[in-house]
Structure 1
Amino acid sequence: MSQNALIYFLKAPKEGDVKTRLAKSIGNQAATRCYTLLCERLLALEVDETVDRFIAYGDAQHAIPPFEGSFGLFFQEGEGLGARMQNAFRHCFAQGYERVVLVGADIPDIDAPLLNEAFDTLASHDAICSPTYDGGYYLIGFHATTFTPKAFKHIVYSQSDVFAKTLDALFPLVVAQGKTLHDLDTLDDLKALAFKASSSFHTYAQALLKTLPRISVVLPVYREDERLQKIIAQTRQRAQTASVEIIVVDTDERTTVDAVALENVRIGFSRQGRAAQMNEGLLMAQGETVLFLHADTLLPDAWDRLVEETLHVTCAGAFSLAIDDAHPWFRFIENAANLRAKLTRVPYGDQALFFSTPFLREQGGFADIALMEDVEIMRRLKKQHVPIVIRSETVLTSSRRWQQEGFVYTTLRNRILSFLFWLGVSPKRFIKRYRAHRD
């Protein structure tokens, strides 16, 4: 028996259970296929013959794919990821191994030299821990005499401080830090990793990316009616290309999608609130560009070309505003809104805000606030000196809010709420004044 054991820590490739964040964008089937191919690639790496290999499998009830090679097999045990990893180490150390390294399966850039070097590194260190760029780690290893359960306790593995907290838990051991690599969690990760090497995973990922749309249009909805169908149809008709996807994000109460027949759209759900719904749409978006459209707003002709032209020179933009009513009062509102946006560079949500998708994700999306999420994101970008382009072409928004609630009341209310937000008042304190957001 060798003194070295390598644990491949694998989940069962069941749709809906693996790569769930990636599945938000590309679907469960494609995400599961990506994970399966990564497992196959990892297990095919030729590690040193002095290393015994084990698969620690995540589901005793699920059939194990026919992976090629010679591996020991045992099933993960324990409540939570930390406990399962701890028990995997205990399993191998109980068999008499002196050095054990555990590695995850969702790292497309991992290779055999890196795995072999982990054991070489352990010769002069108490432990090794190799980080991912998102703050986690993909590999960890110990000697039998230096193994400590503290490395796996009181750590929330979904957060970005996993690697840092693990290093803290390992003190005072002498810990080597391996090469930092990207793991595969999101569509942006897939796009960044797909063309970096050659394997069945990379071939599949490249082919998959070629099928994705260039632009994602997100419509957060709440108690909408058949007018939504017109908005969706005209959004498609007014685009110059077919490389557009429509994402309708309803609330968890399904206030719209069960009442309105929708075709050729992707549907998502979140808790009620425009910011939460738009962030869900951002997670789902497949396009390099994402546009957020109110359910009562029509985009201009060739809007997709206009958006892509803008995002060649910046990361954020919007259209000017027009209102679908001939009353002179609305010309005043339009002119005032467009002048305000031009002077402040802070367009509102009814102007169809659009962004580079990776850029907005890096920003963390919209702030999780009750109102004014559109103002907040633009003010945030201004502080970072991000150019915000407001195009002269107009979106056409419905006058229904003003007609339902009154010209003067709606206009004054919106101005007062904007002023309060500018003063720093929390939107939670004045949301009840905004009737459109109440149940």
Structure 2
Amino acid sequence: MISIVIPALNAERTLVPTLAALVSGATEGIVSDVVLSDGGSSDETRMIADEAGCTIVTGPRGRGGQIRRGIEAAKGDWILVLHADTQLGDGWERDVATFIERERMRENGPRAAAFAFRLRETGWKAVLLERIVALRCLILALPYGDQGLLIPRSLYRQVGGYSDIPLMEDVDIVRKIGRSRLVMLRTPAETSAERYRRDGYFMRMLRNVTCLTLYFMRVSPQTISRLYG
């Protein structure tokens, strides 16, 4: 039913639990295939994916291009793009199946969906960030890539797919999809807090807001990547 596409680069530390969380979907017949799109890993990422039965595609580094290549290799009519450090919460396969079934009965055109944001960490900083992201999704309808993106192939083609850009590819495609065609699912997508611990919560949040502001000011993703990538 759905193909899962995972862009990855040196993701050996996080890939195993990400793949493990998908087993329930395969068992229930929701997942038809998993594609790992590698951007030149020098660790055991490809070996882990191969042992898990993933289809592996390789190419230049850059998440937008990696996702495009992964989707080209995927088999399903529905695509779920998932970061290599993001684990879907319990019951995700039921949430996805229900959404897809409702879409099949809907007559007003296809829609995409994203998951609720969760950090794999406890504490007030993590809770605050989760609430800020929930507010951003509510007001701006702007989930980021670490919340996953479930999209029918027909809509993916209609909006022109992911742009082959080094940064902001997630914001770019969500804007092309548009608020009226995007649904937020209840199941959480739990992502690694490593970047926030490493950079500091405030500095990481400031970086993200700065990148988003520059993007909306029409600064090219290539320039943003050179400054903040």
Q: Answer yes or no: same fold by TM over 0.5.
A: yes
Q: Pick from 202, 207, 226: which aligns with 1:413?
A: 207
Q: Indicate the residue corresponding to 1:250 in structure 2.
A: 38
Contact 1:372 1:427 (C-alpha < 8 Å) held by counterparts: yes
Deviations 1:52-90 (A, max 9, x none): xxxxxxxxxxxxxxxxxxxxxxxxxxxxxxxxxxxxxxx
Corresponding letter in the other structure for 1:358? S
Q: Secondary structure at the match of 1:261?
A: helix
Matches within 5 A, 1:82-93: none
**Distance (Å, rounded) in 2 between the aligned partners of 1:354 and 1:273:** 20
**Distance (Å, rounded) in 2 between the aligned partners of 1:235 and 1:258:** 17
**Distance (Å, rounded) in 1 between the aligned partners of 2:57 and 2:201:** 33
Q: Indicate the residue corresponding to 1:317 in structure 2.
A: 113
Specify every segment of 5 or more residues in structure 2 that has no aligned partner in the other structure, as ranges: 104-109
**Distance (Å, rounded) in 2 between the aligned partners of 1:398 and 1:391:** 20
Deviations 1:275-323 (A, max 9, x none): 0000011101111111011111111223233223223334211011011
Contact 1:226 1:260 (C-alpha < 8 Å) held by counterparts: no
CA gap 1:240/1:390 in 2 versus in 1, 3 angstroms: farther
Deviation at 1:256, TM superposition (A): 4.6
Q: Indicate the residue corresponding to 2:198 in structure 1.
A: 404
**Distance (Å, rounded) in 1 between the aligned partners of 2:211 and 2:123:** 24
Deviation at 1:404, TM superposition (A): 1.6
Q: Indicate the residue corresponding to 1:301 in structure 2.
A: 90
Aligned residues: 219
Q: RCO higher in 1 or 2 (8 Å CA, sep ≥ 6)? A: 2
Q: Indicate the residue corresponding to 2:174 in structure 1.
A: 378
Corresponding letter in the other structure for 1:326? T
**Distance (Å, rounded) in 1 between the aligned partners of 2:27 and 2:184:** 20
Contact 1:228 1:295 (C-alpha < 8 Å) held by counterparts: yes
Contact 1:215 1:304 (C-alpha < 8 Å) held by counterparts: no
**Distance (Å, rounded) in 2 between the aligned partners of 1:386 and 1:276:** 26
Q: Indicate the residue corresponding to 2:183 in structure 1.
A: 389
Specify every segment of 5 or more residues in structure 1 that has no aligned partner in the other structure, as ranges: 1-213
Contact 2:142 2:171 (C-alpha < 8 Å) held by counterparts: yes
Q: Pick from 320, 328, 331: which aligns with 2:127?
A: 331
**Distance (Å, rounded) in 1 between the aligned partners of 2:111 and 2:77:** 11
CA gap 1:433/1:308 in 2 versus in 1, 3 angstroms: farther
Matches within 5 A, 1:330-349: 330-349=126-145
Tell me, yes or no, if structure 1 residue 286 matches structure 2 residue 82.
no
Q: Indicate the residue corresponding to 1:218 in structure 2.
A: 5
Q: Indicate the residue corresponding to 2:158 in structure 1.
A: 362
Q: Secondary structure at the match of 1:370?
A: coil
Deviation at 1:381, TM superposition (A): 1.7
Deviations 1:384-424 (A, max 9, x none): x6421011221111101111222111110001111111111
Larger Rg: 1
Q: Indicate the residue corresponding to 1:430 in structure 2.
A: 224
Over the matched positions of the two proteins, sequence identity in percent amounts to 30
Tell me, yes or no, if structure 1 residue 229 matches structure 2 residue 25.
no
Deviation at 1:259, TM superposition (A): 6.2
Structure with the higher fraction of residues in helix conformation: 2
Q: Secondary structure at the match of 2:187?
A: strand
Deviations 1:210-252 (A, max 9, x none): xxxx11111100111243122112211366613411111102x
**Distance (Å, rounded) in 1 between the aligned partners of 2:188 and 2:227:** 28
